[in-house]
Amino acid sequence: MSSVVASTRGSSPVPTPSKKATEAIAALSFASPKKLHKRPDVVIDDRKRSVSPDTLIDEDEIGEEDDIQILRKKFVGEVDMPESEEPLLKESKRRFVLFPIQYHEIWQMYKKAEASFWTAEEMDLSKDIHDWNNRLNDNERHFISHVLAFFAASDGIVNENLVERFSNEVQAAEARCFYGFQIMMENIHSETYSLLIDTYIKDPARREYLFDAVETIPCVKRKADWALKWISDQHSTFAERLVAFAAVEGIFFSGSFASIFWLKKRGLMPGLTFSNELISRDEGMHTDFACLLFSHLKRRPHPDVVKHIITQAVKIEQEFLTDALPVSLIGMNAKLMCQYIEFVADRLLVSLGNEKVYNVANPFDFMDMISLQGKTNFFEKRVSDYSKANVNHSNQKAEAVASKTFSLDEDF
Cα–Cα distance between 201 and 208 in angstroms, integer?
10
Cα–Cα distance between 243 and 221 in angstroms, integer?
20
Nearest-CA neighbor of 189 among 205, 181, 389, 247?
Answer: 181
The strand pairing partners of 300, in sequence order, are 76
Q: Of 103, 110, 193, 340, which residue is the catalytic one?
A: 193
Residue 44: what residue type?
I
C-alpha distance from residue 65 to each of 12, 62, 237 (Å):
24, 5, 17
Q: Which residues contact 402 (CB under 8 A, 6 or more apart)?
A: none
Nearest-CA neighbor of 275 among 376, 151, 366?
Answer: 151
Q: Is 193 a catalytic residue?
A: yes
Q: Work out the number of other CB atoms within 10 angstroms of the CB of residue 235.
A: 7
The strand pairing partners of 301, in sequence order, are 75
Backbone angles phi, psi at 392, to 5 degrees: -90, 5
The strand pairing partners of 76, in sequence order, are 300
C-alpha distance from residue 121 to each of 118, 124, 126, 271, 362 (Å):
9, 8, 13, 11, 33
Residue 252: what residue type?
F
Residues serving a catalytic function are 193
